[in-house]
């Protein structure tokens, strides 16, 4: 009896211990799955995971689900029904069968073909429920497709020809699974295991007659078979089987599907959960809620990375990936059998028995011990204090010393734990340090030490006392105050916090000697240091990343996120038993290889408790085992065990878009037209362990020189590719950094625009020859025209020079008058003109004119006018105009006329005549009023006998007279509206009392504002004459 109880207890211990290692990922509607009932799961040859649900079929690539929906009006859509079976034939067609007994297959080109099973249409289901006879399995057999039915036997489709086979044995037509091995076909049925002889077309009964739920994958020449309450190892070559003893209560068995991996059997136990049987130690566990969410499961498959996918009735797919759980995990709720019970932990150690210790850093603190063998958790020092506390553990020869405290609090507590009693007792600080002088605690293979201002002390089981032998390493006045320490076998490296020196303590000889001194050891926010082969020292820092110090060269360098670190906020680091550095951070745990400078990071998806760990909350045992404690639990692992356990992922180009349209990837070449020269490729590496860490690199051969590493980005875009032929290539890696170097590729042809085709170039050649001839003729004509233009330009320049020479260089030098002028031509040779003629008696004539038109002829008219004026004696202005009119008329320049007004300033009067010029404006200083003087006569050169009128006004001190051409009042704004004479009058009236310069500037400014950037179509000329006052 005692022996039985012991064995039972041992088995229960194994069950509990194993239960801690199973953690599942779930994929349901919230992740994009069409329905939560996953009836079939299948990994296709190209690596995709296909899921059959109540909604139809879904395809999963690790990132997203693609849903194939049934369309009654589209015969190329997926068959209607709840997909219950999935398989793939030799032509890569993906077959599906449904609960509604419909069949179809998806061709590689993306089109569906539906198949009607004739024997299903005439079958009455033996009077059973509507779902009876659902399609249970689909397997390829060379060019044939084997289809099983739950109630209607076996179907074989060979190039479209259907054959239907049934058994006469009771239950023999209830087929749950098909297995093809060594060209033999085995059927799992309600009447036992049958072999189907395809040549003889008959069922052959085997030695197993119990109803069978499923077959496992192969184990050599054997495979496992699950019945309702038994499991057999079946030797199919000899038709013999071995009973596998499953340690589960027989009343709790309803076995269905089964799979085999790594010496373990996984069995779907309907309504009870999942049984995992370890063939090595012959132990069994049953996973049930809360370890799993559901107890009803339909299907199970093992993918190429040896992850187990299970279809559930209400929670979609669940996946257990033994390669993903690299780190042993304890958290608030995991494992369900022995959860940690809280989130935030602080402090860590591994005791001499290999048990794991940490403290709860939340309200109502406690210390926990996790038993190494059973995984059971024992709790100590539980209290009702709502405050959080930190913990620090130091091993001793007979137990541990524990400090409890919190930064900023005066309260500190010390506890002693003894292995033999498995109890804690609180001890007083002065008991630990009778002389009241404490220091940093260090543990090595010989004992527990404290480096104090009074020297090195060793713990004797009750108190810390001076170690005389160790203190001989230092002079009497020399004190070693350790700021940090690092272990490496029997060597302890000690960093003196008072100086930049690291000492090396050889525990085997008790010698402590200086090892390395450098100012480079001074580093703010240092968390720990690791000495690597005595040639390198690594400092972990909080904010500055990893610091590397070369002891041979005394150099210092920083390793940061730009070098691949996941975070620069680091905690403790250790040299692992794989010769890499292992460091906790605020973004997971990572390893660093000092030889090749590579970084490998691990996150929650790899089994970590969370992204963030805590300081002073890690430990490395002498065997190399590490424990890291964080904000959501703790992780335990051996670095040498954290090695990639996966294969290179299959890489697929999922989609190509040219312009705005998707293209058929089955085409050998992607055609890119010139007017839609944009192509986008979507690709994926089918590794499901941790897709967020899959990496990608792509390359357009023929366009790019090097591979482009895109990190986790899964698309590439090319625009405006030169015409030509290319090959787009992509490769990918899984989360372990294992690359599929072959990857995937597809050819691309970019067509040139019409103007870059061969026939376009032929046209260009012919056109160039024709253009050459035309150009020679054109050049001949151009040269002739250029010669003519140069001749005209010379004439124009001469006319311009002549016209400019007609204008006076200065105004009359008369102290009684202030004169200001302004002229702007609308062309290079303008038609406007002004001049002054001073007489011997001190009087002078002021002339302002405007030849009709512009250019050379207008310049000639001005020249004639000036010559005529110079030849006429001093006469009244109207007489001058009469004579000039006859001269101009005789010259006869065709339609060119000359408008002109002349004002004679003499003895306080201004006499004037006007030949078709705008009004003259007179401002009377006495009356403070502007008067418009309008004299109407024809322009010069009009009628030969035209008689010009004379006007005379009084011109006193302060009076102002304005002569101007019509270019100013007729200046248009951008809307075509003219300034007109009213605005001109108002401007003169507002500024008449100012100087002549100010008056002219105000008129010019008004014109500029009115034109608003327009080019004035006519010349503008202004002559302002003002009689000075005595003050002026």
Is 206 a domain residue? no
Sign of the alpha-carbon dihedral angle for 768, 774, 776, 778: negative
The CA distance from 963 to 823, in Å, is 12
Determine what percent of the chain is predicted with pLDDT higher than 70: 95
Whether the CB-CB separation of 965 and 910 falls below 8 Å is answered with no
The CA distance from 726 to 699, in Å, is 10
Whether the CB-CB separation of 349 and 400 falls below 8 Å is answered with yes
**DSSP class of 410:** S
pLDDT at 115: 93
619 and 691 inside one domain: no
Residues with Cβ within 8 Å of 71's Cβ and at least 6 positions away in sequence, in order, are: 77
Distance of CA 613 to the CA centre of its chain: 26
771 and 826 inside one domain: no
848 and 829 inside one domain: yes
523 and 486 inside one domain: yes
pLDDT at 381: 96
Is 477 a domain residue? yes
Indicate if the pLDDT at residue 601 is higher than 70.
yes
pLDDT at 9: 36
931 and 958 inside one domain: yes
The CA distance from 918 to 832, in Å, is 13
For residues 977-999, average pLDDT = 92
Is 871 a domain residue? yes
Q: Tell me the backbone φ, ψ of residue 1000, rounded to 5 degrees.
A: -65, -45
Whether the CB-CB separation of 776 and 683 falls below 8 Å is answered with no
Is 55 a domain residue? no
DSSP of 696-713, one letter per residue? Answer: EEEEEETTBSS-EEEET-
Residue with tokens 């709860």: 360
* pTM reported for the whole predicted model: 0.67
Q: Tell me the backbone φ, ψ of residue 693, rounded to 5 degrees.
A: -105, 5
**In terms of residue numbers, what domain contains 836?**
812-1027
Is 579 a domain residue? yes
Indicate if the pLDDT at residue 16 is higher than 50.
no
pLDDT at 803: 59
CATH assignment of the domain containing 738: 2.60.40.10
657 and 630 inside one domain: no
For residues 514-532, average pLDDT = 93
**For 38-52, 467-481, 675-689, which range has the lowest pLDDT when averaged over its residues?**
467-481
3-state secondary structure of 510: coil
- The tokens for 693 are 């860490």
The CA distance from 512 to 472, in Å, is 9
Is 362 a domain residue? yes
pLDDT tens-digit readout, 276-292: 999 999 999 999 998 89
The CA distance from 750 to 744, in Å, is 20
Residue with tokens 């080109």: 109
Question: How big is the CA angle at 563 (ends 560 and 566), to the nearest 5 degrees?
Answer: 65
pLDDT tens-digit readout, 97-131: 999 989 999 999 889 999 999 998 888 776 777 66
516 and 421 inside one domain: yes
Of the candidates 715, 713, 712, the residue with the CA atom closest to the CA atom of residue 603: 712
For residues 14-20, average pLDDT = 40
Residue 4: pLDDT band with limits 50, 70, 90:
very low
Indicate if the pLDDT at residue 563 is higher than 90.
yes
pLDDT at 8: 36
The CA distance from 27 to 30, in Å, is 8
pLDDT at 75: 86
Count of other CB atoms within 10 angstroms of residue 781: 9
DSSP of 357-372, one letter per residue? Answer: EEEE-SSS--EEEE-T
pLDDT at 888: 86
- The tokens for 796 are 């124009």
DSSP of 875-904, one letter per residue? Answer: --HHHHHHHHHHHHHHH--TT--EEEEEEE
Is 266 a domain residue? no
The CA distance from 318 to 328, in Å, is 20
pLDDT tens-digit readout, 671-713: 999 898 999 999 999 999 889 889 999 999 999 999 999 999 9
DSSP of 305-318, one letter per residue? Answer: T--EEEEESSS-EE
Indicate if the pLDDT at residue 245 is higher than 50.
yes
CATH assignment of the domain containing 828: 3.60.40.10
pLDDT at 3: 34
765 and 858 inside one domain: no
pLDDT at 795: 58
The CA distance from 628 to 829, in Å, is 94
**DSSP class of 736:** T
pLDDT tens-digit readout, 764-802: 888 888 888 887 877 878 787 777 767 666 655 665 666
CATH assignment of the domain containing 437: 2.130.10.10
pLDDT at 651: 96
pLDDT higher for 323 or 250?
Answer: 250
Is 930 a domain residue? yes
For residues 428-455, average pLDDT = 89
Q: State how beta strands 739-750 and 669-672 pair.
A: parallel
Overall number of domains in the chain: 4
Residue 828: pLDDT band with limits 50, 70, 90:
low
pLDDT tens-digit readout, 892-948: 778 888 899 999 999 999 999 999 999 999 999 999 999 999 999 999 888 888 899
800 and 927 inside one domain: no
**Which run of H or E residues covers position 777?**
helix 758-806
Whether the CB-CB separation of 412 and 403 falls below 8 Å is answered with yes
For residues 984-1009, average pLDDT = 93
**What order do you get walking across the sheet with 112-115 strand by strand?**
83-88, 94-98, 103-106, 112-115
Residues with Cβ within 8 Å of 800's Cβ and at least 6 positions away in sequence, in order, are: 828, 829, 859
Q: 440-472 burial string, b = 16+ CB within 10 Å, else e?
A: ebbbbeebbbbbbebbbbbbeeeebeebeebbe
Question: How big is the CA angle at 815 (ends 811 and 817), to the nearest 5 degrees?
Answer: 60
Domain boundary among 732, 753, 774: 753
Cα dihedral 3/9/15/19 (nearest 10):
-160
588 and 698 inside one domain: no
- The tokens for 309 are 């996918």
Indicate if the pLDDT at residue 543 is higher than 70.
yes
- The tokens for 185 are 């076909």
DSSP strands (E only) in 406-506: 412-418, 423-427, 440-443, 448-452, 455-459, 464-466, 482-488, 491-496, 501-506
**Which run of H or E residues covers position 238?**
none
pLDDT tens-digit readout, 384-422: 999 999 999 999 999 999 999 998 898 999 999 999 999
For residues 11-23, average pLDDT = 49
Helices (H), 363-486: 429-432, 468-471
Residues with Cβ within 8 Å of 36's Cβ and at least 6 positions away in sequence, in order, are: 28, 29, 53, 312, 313, 314, 315, 316
Whether the CB-CB separation of 466 and 474 falls below 8 Å is answered with no
pLDDT at 1: 33
Average pLDDT, the chain: 90
Domain boundary among 775, 806, 837: 806
Domain boundary among 789, 806, 823: 806
Burial class (CB in 10 A: 0-12, 13-18, 19+), 5: exposed
The CA distance from 583 to 403, in Å, is 24
CA-to-CA separations, 265 to 225, 284, 471, 600, 690, in angstroms, rounded: 10, 9, 60, 32, 25
CA-to-CA separations, 597 to 191, 553, 563, 581, 591, in angstroms, rounded: 62, 18, 9, 11, 10
The CA distance from 352 to 338, in Å, is 22
The CA distance from 448 to 12, in Å, is 37
DSSP of 900-963, one letter per residue? Answer: EEEEEEETTEEEEEEESPPPEEEEETTTTEEEEE----PPBTS-TT-----EEEE--TT-EEEE
Determine what percent of the chain is predicted with pLDDT higher than 90: 68
The CA distance from 128 to 741, in Å, is 54
The CA distance from 539 to 673, in Å, is 57
For residues 345-372, average pLDDT = 96
**What order do you get walking across the sheet with 231-235 strand by strand?**
212-219, 222-227, 231-235, 240-244
766 and 748 inside one domain: no
Residues with Cβ within 8 Å of 936's Cβ and at least 6 positions away in sequence, in order, are: 914, 949
pLDDT at 14: 37
Whether the CB-CB separation of 681 and 697 falls below 8 Å is answered with no
- The tokens for 263 are 């010496």
737 and 876 inside one domain: no
pLDDT at 618: 96
């Amino acid at each position: 009896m005692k022996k039985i109880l012991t064995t039972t207890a041992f088995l229960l211990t194994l069950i509990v211990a194993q239960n801690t290692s199973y953690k599942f990922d779930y994929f349901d509607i919230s992740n994009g799955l069409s329905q939560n009932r996953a009836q079939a799961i299948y990994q296709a040859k190209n690596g995709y995971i296909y899921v059959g649900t109540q909604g139809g079929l879904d395809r999963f690539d690790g990132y997203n689900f693609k849903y194939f929906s049934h369309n009654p009006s589209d015969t190329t859509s997926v068959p209607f029904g709840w997909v219950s079976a999935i398989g793939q034939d030799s032509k890569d067609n993906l077959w599906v069968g449904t609960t509604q007994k419909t069949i179809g297959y998806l061709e590689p080109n993306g089109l569906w073909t539906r198949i009607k099973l004739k024997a299903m249409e005439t079958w009455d289901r033996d009077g059973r429920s509507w779902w009876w006879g659902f399609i249970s399995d689909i397997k390829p057999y060379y060019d044939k497709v084997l289809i099983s039915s739950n109630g209607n036997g076996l179907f074989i489709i060979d190039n479209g020809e259907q054959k239907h086979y049934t058994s006469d044995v009771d239950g023999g037509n209830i087929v749950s699974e098909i297995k093809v091995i060594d060209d033999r076909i085995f059927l799992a049925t309600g009447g036992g295991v049958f072999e189907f002889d395809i040549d003889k077309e008959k069922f052959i009964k085997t030695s197993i007659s119990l109803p069978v739920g499923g077959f496992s994958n192969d184990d050599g020449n054997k495979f496992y078979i699950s019945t309702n309450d038994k499991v057999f190892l079946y030797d199919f070559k000899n038709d013999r089987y071995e009973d596998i003893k499953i340690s589960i209560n027989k009343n709790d068995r309803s076995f269905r599907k089964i799979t085999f991996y790594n010496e373990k059997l996984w069995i779907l136990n309907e309504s009870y959960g999942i049984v995992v049987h370890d063939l090595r130690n012959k132990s069994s566990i049953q996973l049930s809620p809360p370890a799993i969410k559901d107890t009803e499961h339909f299907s199970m498959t093992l993918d190429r990375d040896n992850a187990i996918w299970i279809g559930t009735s209400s929670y979609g797919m669940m996946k257990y990936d033994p390669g993903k759980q690299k780190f042993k995990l304890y958290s608030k709720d995991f494992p369900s059998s022995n959860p940690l019970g809280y989130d935030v932990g602080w402090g860590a150690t591994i005791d001499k028995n290999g048990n794991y210790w940490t403290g709860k850093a939340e309200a109502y603190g406690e210390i926990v011990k996790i038993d190494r063998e059973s995984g059971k958790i024992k709790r100590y020092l539980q209290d009702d204090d709502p405050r959080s506390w930190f913990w620090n553990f130091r091993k001793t020869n007979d137990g541990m010393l524990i400090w409890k405290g919190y930064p900023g609090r005066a309260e500190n507590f010390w506890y002693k734990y003894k292995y033999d009693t498995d109890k804690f007792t609180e001890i007083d600080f002065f008991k630990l340090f009778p002389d009241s002088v404490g220091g940093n605690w260090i543990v090595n293979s010989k004992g527990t030490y404290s480096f104090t201002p009074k020297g090195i002390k060793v713990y004797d089981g009750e108190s810390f006392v001076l170690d005389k032998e160790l203190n001989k390493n230092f002079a009497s006045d020399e004190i070693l105050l350790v700021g940090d320490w690092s272990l490496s076998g029997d060597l302890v490296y000690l960093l003196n916090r008072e100086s930049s020196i690291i000492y090396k303590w050889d525990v085997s000889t008790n010698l402590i000697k200086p090892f390395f001194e450098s100012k480079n050891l001074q580093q703010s926010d240092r968390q720990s240091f690791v000495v690597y082969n005595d040639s390198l020292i690594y400092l972990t820092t909080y904010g500055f990343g990893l610091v590397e110090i070369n002891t041979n060269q005394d150099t210092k360098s920083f390793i940061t996120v730009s070098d691949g670190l996941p975070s620069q906020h680091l905690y403790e680091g250790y040299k692992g038993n794989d010769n890499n550095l292992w460091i906790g951070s605020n973004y997971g745990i990572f390893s660093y290889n000092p030889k090749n400078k590579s970084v490998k990071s691990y996150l929650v998806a790899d089994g970590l408790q969370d992204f963030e760990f805590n300081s002073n909350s890690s430990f490395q045992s002498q065997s190399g085992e590490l424990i890291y404690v964080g904000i959501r639990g703790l992780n335990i692992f051996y670095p040498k065990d954290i090695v990639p356990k996966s294969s290179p992922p299959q890489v697929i180009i999922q989609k190509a878009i040219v312009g705005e349209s998707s293209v058929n990837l089955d085409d050998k070449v992607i055609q890119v037209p010139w007017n839609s020269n944009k192509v986008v490729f979507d690709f994926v590496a089918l590794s499901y362990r941790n897709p967020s860490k899959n990496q990608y690199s792509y390359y357009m051969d023929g366009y790019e020189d090097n591979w482009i590493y895109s990190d986790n980005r899964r698309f590439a875009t090319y625009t405006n590719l030169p015409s030509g032929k290319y090959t787009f290539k992509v490769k990918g890696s899984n989360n372990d950094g294992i690359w599929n170097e072959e990857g995937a590729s597809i050819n691309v042809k970019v067509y040139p625009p019409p103007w870059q085709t061969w026939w376009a170039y032929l046209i260009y050649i012919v056109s160039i020859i024709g253009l050459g001839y035309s150009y020679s003729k054109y050049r001949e004509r151009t040269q002739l025209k250029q010669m003519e233009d140069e001749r005209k330009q010379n004439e124009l320049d001469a006319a311009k020079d002549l016209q400019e020479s007609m204008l006076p260089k200065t105004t009359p030098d008369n102290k009684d008058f202030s004169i200001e002028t302004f002229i702007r031509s609308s062309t290079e040779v303008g038609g406007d003109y002004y001049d002054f003629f001073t007489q011997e008696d001190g009087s002078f004539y002021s002339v302002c004119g405007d030849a009709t038109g512009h250019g050379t002829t207008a310049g000639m008219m001005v020249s004639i006018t000036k010559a005529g004026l110079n030849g006429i004696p001093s006469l009244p202005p109207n007489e001058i105009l009469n004579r000039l009119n006859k001269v101009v008329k005789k010259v006869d320049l065709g339609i060119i006329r000359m408008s002109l007004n002349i004002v004679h300033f003499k003895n306080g009067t201004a006499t004037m005549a006007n030949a078709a010029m705008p009004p003259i404006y007179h401002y009377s200083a006495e009356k403070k009023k502007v008067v418009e003087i309008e004299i109407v006569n024809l322009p010069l050169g009009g009628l030969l006998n035209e008689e010009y009128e004379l006007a005379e006004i009084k011109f006193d001190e302060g009076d102002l007279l304005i002569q101007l051409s019509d270019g100013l009042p007729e200046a248009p704004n951008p809307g075509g509206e003219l300034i007109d004479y009213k605005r001109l009058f108002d401007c003169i009236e507002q500024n008449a009392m100012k100087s002549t310069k100010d008056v002219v500037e105000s008129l010019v400014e008004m014109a500029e504002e009115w034109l608003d950037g327009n080019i004035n179509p006519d010349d503008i000329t202004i002559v302002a004459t003002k009689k000075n006052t005595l003050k002026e």
